[in-house]
Amino acid sequence: MASHVSGTRSGAAARSPGRTGTGSGWLVFAAVLMVFGGLMMIFEGIAAIAEDDVFVTTRNYVYEFDLTAWGWIHLVVGVVITLAGAALFQGATWARAVGVAVAGLAMLANFLWIPYAPFWAIVLIAINGFVIWALCTAPSPSE
């Protein structure tokens, strides 16, 4: 006679409903926003490095930098955010901490960027705010 044991199989972990391999839908949401926001910062940085006529330069701005310097800042931060977002898709736990830190830096950079591209800077500040919120409230993949 064969005996049947109810419950989970030996070696198989029970998963709660709605969870994915990366931890939760909030981590996927954060990863998508990080990749999107990072790519937009990369494009913004490239346009600023090329000194495109899209940007308005203001006088007497307290945090005034050269447009090329802002372009390099946005390019580097955008690359790091995009790579951390891609790492979140792979399930890297370090990407959560890096994502929160770099999204915070991106919010600061976009706040200082408001005089050059106000609408787009505010959109990216909101996206990075959602990224930080999603990364901080998502359950741990080990739960």
H-run or E-run covering 52? none
How confident is the model over 57-75, as pLDDT tens digits?
Answer: 666 666 667 778 888 999 9
Residue 16 has pLDDT above 60, yes or no: no
* Both structure tokens of 35: 């990749």
In a domain, 24, yes or no: no
pLDDT value, residue 58? 66
Q: Count of domains in the chain? A: 1
Block residue for tokens 């990364």? 135
At 76, list the tokens: 């580097």
Confidence bin at 10 (pLDDT 50/70/90)? very low
For residue 15, tell me if it sits in a domain.
no
Residue 21 scores a pLDDT above 80: no
Distance CA 126, CA 75 (A): 19
Residue 103 belongs to some domain of the structure: yes
Alpha-helical (H) ranges within the chain are 25-49, 67-89, 94-112, 118-137
| Assigned domain for 60 exists | no
State the Cα–Cα distance between residues 63 and 84, nearest whole angstrom.
Answer: 28
Residue 75 included in any domain: yes
- pLDDT of res. 14: 45
The confidence score (pLDDT) of residue 51 equals 74
Residue entry with tokens 């901490």: 97
Is residue 10, in this structure, part of any structural domain at all? no
For 10, the token pair is 């030996």
Q: What is the dihedral of CA 31, 35, 38, 42, to 10 degrees?
A: 170
Confirm whether 120 is domain-assigned: yes
- pLDDT tier for residue 123 given thresholds of 50, 70 and 90: very high
Give one word for 91, left, alpha or beta, with left for phi > 0 and alpha for psi -120 to 50: left
Identify whether 9 is part of a domain.
Answer: no
Q: Which of 79-83, 95-99, 111-115, 122-126 has the lowest mean pLDDT?
A: 111-115
Domain that holds residue 121: 31-52+65-137
pLDDT class of 26 with cuts at 50, 70, 90: confident
The single residue listed with the structure tokens 């959560």 is 96
Its pTM stands at 0.75
